[in-house]
Amino acid sequence: MKFFIDTANIDEIRAANELGVLAGVTTNPTLVAKEGVSFHERLREITQEVSTSVSAEVISEDAEGMIKEGKELAAIAPNITVKIPMTLEGLKAVKVLSDLNIETNVTLIFNPNQALLAARAGATYVSPFLGRLDDIGHNGMELIATISQIFDQFDIKSQIIAASIRHPLHVTDAALNGAHIATIPYKVLAQLVKHPLTDKGIEQFLSDWNKVKDL
């Protein structure tokens, strides 16, 4: 499983990129709004920092508008992936954009049929939202496992992005259940590194070293 970062914050993207583990970026209108910057300008900055997939979401609700926006977004940089919401209009847009060799990420997926439809329309990525399902008492991880099983059964090439990740256990379980990618907030990425025994071990090694360093 690969790591994407789920943010429009350029400092977080740079910090994650320096770790050498970053395989892509996902943004959404809420994340962009938090930044209070021009969307296209921010996408230019992100695509200069990261050469792998950068998901940018369309706002239109009709296929024609999504396709127009998708083409404009894709023109910003070759590594833009157009993020399209899971609707009937969205599927039409995915089909047209994928025929134009523009990568797509179908977002707001909450059941296996939505994922299968998105894949059949030509989506490069499908994004099931774990945390939001867990929030309403459903099992987000089961959804990842089911989509993974269906995609394997029919040799479907669309990649599963585990999205709406809230904590480190989501990341481990997404990997175990067949997600190709987890897109995670910077805060969770930093949490993945931490273990109290690692900190304790470093402290012990330094303290022992200091006892003998001047010998």
Distance CA 140, CA 112 (A): 11
Contacts of 33 (CB under 8 A, 6+ apart): none
Does 177 bind ligand E4P (CB under 6 A)? Our answer is no
In eight-state DSSP terms, residue 79 is T
Tokens read off for 46? 């992100």
Q: In this chain, which stretch among 67-75, 109-117, 126-134, 142-150 interacts with ligand E4P, using CB under 6 A?
A: 126-134
Residues 60-119, interacting with ligand E4P (CB under 6 A): 107
Number of residues that bind ligand E4P (CB under 6 A): 11
Does 167 bind ligand E4P (CB under 6 A)? Our answer is no
Q: Which of 2, 34, 71, 83 is catalytic?
A: 83
The residue written with tokens 């977080």 in the block is: 12
194 is catalytic: no
Residue type, 78: P
Q: C-beta of 129: minimal distance to ligand E4P in Å?
A: 6
What's the CA angle centered on 185, arms 182 and 188, to 5 degrees? 85
What's the CA angle centered on 76, arms 70 and 79, to 5 degrees? 85
* 38-47 long-range contacts, CB within 8 A, separation 24+: 40/73, 40/76, 42/8, 42/10, 43/73, 43/76, 43/77, 43/80, 44/76, 44/77, 45/10, 46/8, 46/10, 46/13, 47/76, 47/77, 47/79, 47/80
Residues 6-65, interacting with ligand E4P (CB under 6 A): 6, 26, 28
Among 47, 114, 159, 183, binds ligand E4P (CB under 6 A): 183
Among 164, 170, 177, 179, binds ligand E4P (CB under 6 A): 164
Does 132 bind ligand E4P (CB under 6 A)? Our answer is yes
> Closer to ligand E4P at the Cβ: 132 or 167?
132
> Closer to ligand E4P at the Cβ: 127 or 148?
127
Does 163 bind ligand E4P (CB under 6 A)? Our answer is yes
Distance CA 2, CA 19 (A): 13
Does 127 bind ligand E4P (CB under 6 A)? Our answer is yes
Q: Which residues are catalytic?
A: 83
Write out the residues near ligand E4P by the rule CB under 6 A.
Answer: 6, 26, 28, 107, 127, 129, 131-132, 163-164, 183
